[in-house]
């Protein structure tokens, strides 16, 4: 397993970056949660901040591909944070025809969304191929 591979989400830049051995391999523009940052409870439509375990990329009827993010961490859950179904995903099936235009006005419910299926396939292939296990969401 490669321990030097990870993903970094920078909400201010609205980007997800694929990193390997402390170098940026590729970066993609992303859609973020409609209510901003600092997820605390289920349904608040906010993006969590921190470092999280990544699940295995899987097919999603709603988004094409979905990579689960392990929110909340055990520490956050002990502090009362709630929620689930947070992840990195492709475009919603109903708006995927918009491509990168969707980034201008479509927001997520607390996830990191990529504009195209092609971009999402690249992220999923990187996660699978490099055995990426973590994502950092940070300012």
Beta carbons of 57 and 67 less than 8 angstroms apart: yes
Q: Write the CA distances from 89 to 4, 62, 78, integer angstroms.
A: 23, 9, 27
Does position 98 have pLDDT exceeding 80, yes or no? no
Q: Which residue segments constitute the domains of the chain, with CATH numbers given?
A: 5-137 (2.40.440.10)
| Confidence category of residue 105, pLDDT binned at 50, 70, 90 | low
Q: Average pLDDT in the 34-47 region?
A: 93
Does position 2 have pLDDT exceeding 60, yes or no? no
Q: Average pLDDT in the 93-116 region?
A: 74
| Percentage of residues of the chain with pLDDT beyond 90 | 73
> What SS3 string covers 73-128?
CHHHHHCCCCCCCCEEECCCCCCHHHHHHHHHCCCECCCEEECCHHHHHHHHHHHH
Does position 115 have pLDDT exceeding 90, yes or no? no
Tens digit of each residue's pLDDT (9 = 90 or more) over 42-76: 999 999 999 999 999 999 999 999 999 999 999 99
Does position 18 have pLDDT exceeding 70, yes or no? yes
Does position 107 have pLDDT exceeding 80, yes or no? no
The neighbouring-strand residues paired with 87 are: 68
Q: Average pLDDT in the 91-103 region?
A: 71
Look at residues 66, 64, 70 and name the one whose alpha carbon lies nearest to residue 50.
70
What is the average pLDDT value for the chain, to the nearest integer? 90
pLDDT at position 92, please? 86
CA distance 49 to 4: 21
- Backbone dihedral angles phi then psi of residue 100, each to the nearest 5 degrees: -70, -15
CA distance 136 to 139: 10
Alpha-carbon dihedral sign for residues 18, 128, 22, 69? positive
């Amino acid at each position: 397993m490669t321990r030097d591979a990870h993903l970094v989400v920078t909400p201010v830049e609205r980007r997800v970056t694929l990193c390997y051995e402390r170098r940026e391999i590729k970066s993609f523009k992303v859609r973020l949660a409609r209510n901003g940052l600092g997820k605390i409870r289920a349904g608040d439509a906010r993006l969590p901040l921190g470092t999280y375990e990544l699940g295995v990329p899987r097919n999603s009827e709603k988004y094409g591909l979905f990579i689960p993010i392990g929110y909340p961490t055990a520490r956050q859950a002990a502090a009362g944070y709630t929620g689930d179904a947070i992840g990195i995903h492709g475009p919603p099936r109903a708006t995927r025809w918009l491509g990168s235009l969707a980034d201008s006005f479509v927001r997520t419910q607390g996830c990191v969304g990529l504009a195209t299926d092609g971009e999402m396939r690249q992220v999923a292939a990187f996660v699978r191929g490099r055995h990426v296990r973590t994502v950092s969401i940070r300012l």
